[in-house]
Amino acid sequence: MADESNAGPVAAPVATDAEVKAPTAKRQRSPRPQKAASEPAQSKTPAAKRRGYGEQEKSEKLRLIETQVGEGGTLKDAIKRAGISEQTYYHWKGAAKPAEPRGTKSTKPIPAGDELADLVQLEEENQRLRKQLAEKLRAENAELRKRLGLE
C-alpha cells in the first residue's frame, strides 16, 4: 500500500505539460479604415458614364479598325485607338456579321447524298494525308538516326 503515497510526483509532470500547452491569446487587429463616401467609385472618367454607342458610331469604329488593320497595323492597336475593348469589338463584329450573309445564303437544302459523298471524300483525303505524313516522319527519323550513328 506504500505505492499509493507515490502518486504525488507523477501528477506534477502532467501539470507542467498542461501549463506549456495553454493557448496564447490571439492578437487583435486594428479596424480597417472606412472608405470615403464622398467620392463616387464608378465615375473615374467621363467616358465611364456613357451607356452605349449608336449604330452609326459602331459601324464607323468597326470600319476604322478594319482600315487600320488593312494598312498593316495590329488588331489590338487598332482596337485601342478606337477606344473600345476587344470584347466589345468582337461583340459588335459578331452582331454585324450575320446580317450580311443572310441575303447571300441560299435557302435550298443540300441533299443528304451530297453531304455523304463529301464526307467520304474528306475521309479518303484525310487517310491519304496521314499516310504521307507518316512516311515523311519515318524518313526524317531514319536520317537522324543515321547522323547520330544509332543504326
> Which pLDDT belongs to residue 132?
96
- pLDDT per residue, tens digit, the chain (151 aa), is 555 555 555 555 555 555 556 667 788 888 888 877 655 555 455 555 666 888 889 989 999 999 999 898 899 999 999 999 999 999 998 888 765 455 555 566 666 778 888 999 999 999 999 999 999 999 999 999 999 988 6
Length of the chain: 151
Other C-beta atoms within 10 Å of 65: how many? 22
pTM of the entire predicted model: 0.35
Phi and psi based region of residue 149 (left: phi greater than 0; alpha: psi -120 to 50; beta: remaining): left
User: Contact, 61 vs 96, CB < 8 A?
Assistant: no
The upper half-sphere exposure of residue 145, i.e. CA atoms within 13 Å in the direction of its Cβ, equals 8
Q: How many helices (H) and strands (E) does the chain have?
A: 6, 0
Domain boundaries, the chain: 53-100, 122-151
CA distance 70 to 78: 10
Instruction: Select from 102, 65, 70, 68 the least CA-distant residue to 85.
Output: 65
